[in-house]
Amino acid sequence: NDEKNLTTNTCLCPPSYYGDQCQYENQRVSLTIKFQALSDSWSTSFAIVISLIDNSKERIIHSYEQFTYLSSQDCKIKFNIYLLYLTRPKDLTKNYAIHIDFYEKFSLMYRGSLLYPIKFSFLPVQRLAYMVIIPQRNEKFQSCSNSHCIHGKCIVYYNTLQNNTFCQCHPGWSGRYCTIPYTCTCSSDSICIGVSAYNRSICICPINKFGYRCLIPNTICQMNNNNLTCQNGGQCIPIDEHMSSSNKKFSCICPKGYSGDRCEIIDNKITLTFEEDIVLSQSIFIHFIEAINGRDQKIVSEFCVRGIVRKVVVLIGSRPLIAS
């Protein structure tokens, strides 16, 4: 109250609690999840959207989280996420599930979706943990012929043995069968993939935009003209604030033969040439061993090489290693 110069304290509650003093516990899904990309996607930046959905005709997205993921840098990160239900208490007549979408960040190409049904829905708090493998680039997502998808297309979840499907709605449509219209407020260069329970569009932003509607430009990578970000042809990626506790504003995807935070390091190259009288199998394993200051040795990496041409193998690495 400005006139009487009075102030009052207000509690800002964490997601797991609510109330004027944060005295009540929210019904929620507490999700711990770790991602793994295979070799073809090790240097691909992904937009990952994790949603809590129900099985109603509206297919309501109760809550969701979105972040950018780069496996070459983030593969050791475990994400801890709270997903809240729309109502208190939640509707026990509905079934709920975790729905995960993958999009390539640079091309905005759709990679696939996963479904994890939530069992024992009578429990007020669900604690779930998953290790998720991102679908390969050559593993085309499987479509289906469900004619009920009015304003969308039928997609098969790639992680269910029962070949469960869902309707991937066109922008401006939502619901189980894409029959409910809404106004998409995402920027024209982004992708609108749905609408939240609070009527807010869910947008997949291009690499140089951020914000709920992808309207805010991120110019950090435009400094590359002055060689202030990534060197030697490295690809600059703005840092996702979800992922970093440091002051770094960008990261670099380095081309083959370079490494370092800014791709400033020229990697070591080892060329292995085999004599003609040596008979090689179709595949060979090469182990790299690191020994620091005379301490115990440890294997730091290994390669499996297939289809050797002219009995020459070239290996590139950022550490001073000895082959054995």
pLDDT tens per residue, range 14-61: 999 999 999 999 999 999 999 999 878 888 999 999 999 999 999 999
**Residue 228 backbone zone (phi > 0: left; psi -120 to 50: alpha; other: beta):** alpha
Distances from the Cα of 63 to the Cαs of 76, 129, 159, 264, 316, in angstroms? 25, 18, 22, 41, 44
Q: What integer pLDDT is reported at residue 227 of this predicted model?
A: 60
At 272 the pLDDT is 77
pLDDT tens for 79-133 read: 999 999 999 999 999 999 999 999 999 999 999 999 999 999 899 999 999 999 9
Look at residue 183 in the predicted model and tell me its pLDDT.
96
Residue pair 224/208 in contact by the 8 Å Cβ criterion: no
Residue 308 lies in a domain: yes
Encoding tokens for residue 153? 């297309």
Chain centroid to Cα 91, Å, comes to 29
Cis peptide before 206 (omega within 30 of 0): no
Residues 8 and 124 grouped into a single domain: yes
End-to-end CA distance of the chain: 75
Whether residue 297 lies inside any domain: the answer is yes
pTM: 0.81
Residue 170 lies in a domain: no
Shared domain check, 39 and 125: yes
- The structure tokens 């090489």 sit at 305
Residue 254: CATH number of its domain = 2.10.25.10
Task: Give domain status of residue 204, yes or no.
Answer: no
Is residue 161 very low, low, confident or very high in pLDDT (cuts 50, 70, 90)? confident
Phi, psi of 30 (to 5 degrees): -100, 110
Q: Are residues 44 and 74 in the same domain?
A: yes
1 pLDDT band, cuts 50/70/90, is low
Give me the pLDDT at residue 139, please.
61
Question: Are 261 and 274 in a shared domain?
Answer: no
Are 232 and 127 found together in one domain? no
Instruction: Tell me whether residue 178 is in a domain.
Output: no
User: How far apart (Å, rounded) are the C-alpha atoms in residues 83 and 222?
Assistant: 35
- Say yes or no: 132 and 225 in one domain: no
In tens, the pLDDT along 281-316 reads: 766 677 766 666 656 555 545 555 555 556 677 766
8 pLDDT tier (thresholds 50, 70, 90): confident
Question: According to the model, what pLDDT value does residue 271 have?
Answer: 79
For the chain, the domain total comes to: 3
* 127 located within any domain: yes
Residue 211 backbone class (left: φ over 0; alpha: ψ -120 to 50; beta: rest): left
> Where does residue 258 rank: exposed (0-12), middle (13-18), buried (19+ CB within 10 A)?
buried
Q: What is the mean pLDDT of the chain?
A: 85
Element (H, E) at 72: helix 71-74
**Do residue 4 and residue 128 come from a single domain?**
yes
Cis status, amide bond into 320, omega within 30 of 0: no
Q: Give yes or no: residues 28 and 87 share one domain.
A: yes
Percentage of the residues of the chain whose pLDDT score is greater than 90:
51
Least confident of 92-106, 232-246, 259-273: 232-246
Tell whether 246 is covered by a domain. Answer: yes
- The angle formed by the CA atoms of residues 102, 260 and 312, to the nearest 5 degrees, is 90
Q: What separation in angstroms does the CA of 33 have from each of 7, 116, 132, 153, 229?
A: 42, 12, 7, 28, 31
State the sign of the Cα–Cα–Cα–Cα dihedral 135, 137, 143, 149: positive
pLDDT score at 219:
85
pLDDT at 111: 93
Domain of residue 134, residue span: 1-95+116-138
The answer on 32 and 69 residing in a single domain is: yes
> Do 292 and 252 reside in the same domain of the chain?
no
Output the pLDDT for position 144. Answer: 78
Three-class DSSP category at 117: strand
Please check whether residues 128 and 32 belong to one and the same domain.
Answer: yes
Regarding whether 57 and 43 lie in a shared domain, the answer is yes
Q: 276 in a domain, yes or no?
A: yes
Residue 275: CB atoms within 10 Å: 6
DSSP letters, 177-233, are TT-EE----S-TTSEEEEE-TTS-EEEE--TTEESTTS-EE--GGGGGGGTSS--TT
